[in-house]
Amino acid sequence: MRNEDQFIGGDFTWFTAVVEDINDTENLNRVKVRCHGWHTSNTSLVSTENLPWATVMMPVTSASIQGNGGNHHLEVGSWVVGFFRDGPSAQDPMVMGSIATQTNGTQDIPTESSVDNKVYKSKAGHLIEIDNEDGGERINIKHKSGSYILFKADGQIEIKSLVKTTVI
């Protein structure tokens, strides 16, 4: 007997795709992908907005629970490989990894906005954040106590410890 929803014992249906949106407003570490052979490359027929959100698998070194762990480092234009959790229904994509490409990323793919932060948060609550936003680039290293070192976009360094705050 075949399972109708394809989740258990169904067909393994894999894909290659290009990432078209990394701005997951629900912060679930997802990306929108245009799967080759499944979604037309004609964006007037299937817009980026109408592409499915794909869950990005993370390595076992990332807990991926309750805000702990890191986020993916995929960029718009990244090529990825994955599979559909729902088999040939092809509505629930999972990204397993990225593959090398010679495309020039965002120049080829129109997007409304993108999230360009790289974040790691430990189980204890420590945070490392790298913000690549054009004009607002910064690096923030924060201890769970609230102490931090902040490298600002203009090159200034702000240090806050439990004792005092210093700007260099």
pLDDT tens profile 21-45? 999 888 888 999 999 988 888 888 9
Range of the domain at 83: 1-113
Q: What is the pTM of this model?
A: 0.64
Of 113, 130, 156, which residue is a domain's last? 113
Residue 20, pLDDT score = 94
121 and 84 housed in the same domain = no
38 and 91 housed in the same domain = yes
Average pLDDT (10-31) is: 88
Contact 23, 30 (CB under 8 A): no
Domain count, the chain: 2
pLDDT in tens, 53-82: 999 998 877 777 766 667 788 889 999 999
Q: Which residues pair with 149 in a beta bridge?
A: 141, 159
Token pair for 88: 């040939």
Q: Which of 48-57, 64-73, 97-106 has the highest mean pLDDT?
A: 48-57
Q: Taking 70 as the threshold, does the pLDDT of residue 168 lie above it?
A: no
When pLDDT is cut at 50, 70 and 90, the band that residue 90 belongs to is confident
Residue 106, pLDDT score = 45
Of 81, 97, 113, which residue is a domain's last? 113
Work out the mean pLDDT of the chain and round it to a whole number. 81
Query: What is the rounded distance in angstroms from the CA atom of residue 2 to the CA atom of residue 9?
Result: 8
Q: Is 111 helix (H, G, I), strand (E, B) or coil?
A: coil
Give me the CATH number covering residue 8.
Answer: 2.40.50.260
Query: What is the rounded distance in angstroms from the CA atom of residue 66 to the CA atom of residue 115?
Result: 20
